[in-house]
Structure 1
Amino acid sequence: MLYHPLLTHGLRVAFRGAAIAMLCALGACSTTPSVQAWEKGNLARPEMGFERDALDAKFTDHIYFSKEAASGGTGVGGGGCGCN
């Protein structure tokens, strides 16, 4: 592998420049204001949720996490037997 001091110096300068540019870009993203509840309009309505029926969604989650043998997936204790 070719080792040259100017080559490694150039790579360091380029890496520093890229790091500074990325930090500036991320810093600019943090200045966006958060959306308040009254600004959401129709998106905050319960009808706009992913699941139409809350009971059905809870039941589906229970079945899924029982089959996957995961404990605590939806905030209930127990193992994969489905007898919670």
Structure 2
Amino acid sequence: MVMKHRLLLGLLMVPLASACSLQPVQPWQRGHLARPEMAWEPDPLLAAYRRHVQFSKEAATGGPVLGGGGCGCN
């Protein structure tokens, strides 16, 4: 009986959880999403430093997107 309730709850949660992602962002809401604290990396200087460190350690030409040789020489 408990298993049926969990299955039913799981089946009901999937549409409820995905319903919020189906609504487009309204023009008056875009200002909230453009705020600096909503950015993936809010500090551009720190983000550039981290990319440089990762580039230097991994010798990955192209940054985190492309793979490199791994020899460590730039």
* Structure 1 gaps, min length 5: 1-12
Matched, 1:51 2:43: yes
- Alignment-mate amino acid for residue 19 of structure 2: T
- Asked if structure 1 preserves the Cα contact closer than 8 Å seen for 2:59 and 2:69, the reply is yes
Q: Deviations over 1:26-57 (max 9, x none)?
A: 22122224352622214315xx131234xx62
* Structure 2 gaps, min length 5: none
One of 5, 19, 38 as aligned partner of 1:31:
19
TM-score of the superposed pair, with normalisation by structure 1: 0.51
Root-mean-square deviation over aligned CA pairs: 3.1
Change (3 A) 1:29 1:77: closer
Q: Count matched residues.
A: 66
Change (3 A) 1:34 1:65: farther
TM-score of the superposed pair, with normalisation by structure 2: 0.55
Matches within 5 A, 1:1-84: 13-32=1-20, 33-36=22-25, 38=27, 39-45=29-35, 48=36, 49=39, 50-53=42-45, 57-67=47-57, 69=58, 71=60, 74-80=64-70, 81=72, 83=74
- Following superposition, the deviation at residue 21 of structure 1 comes to 0.9
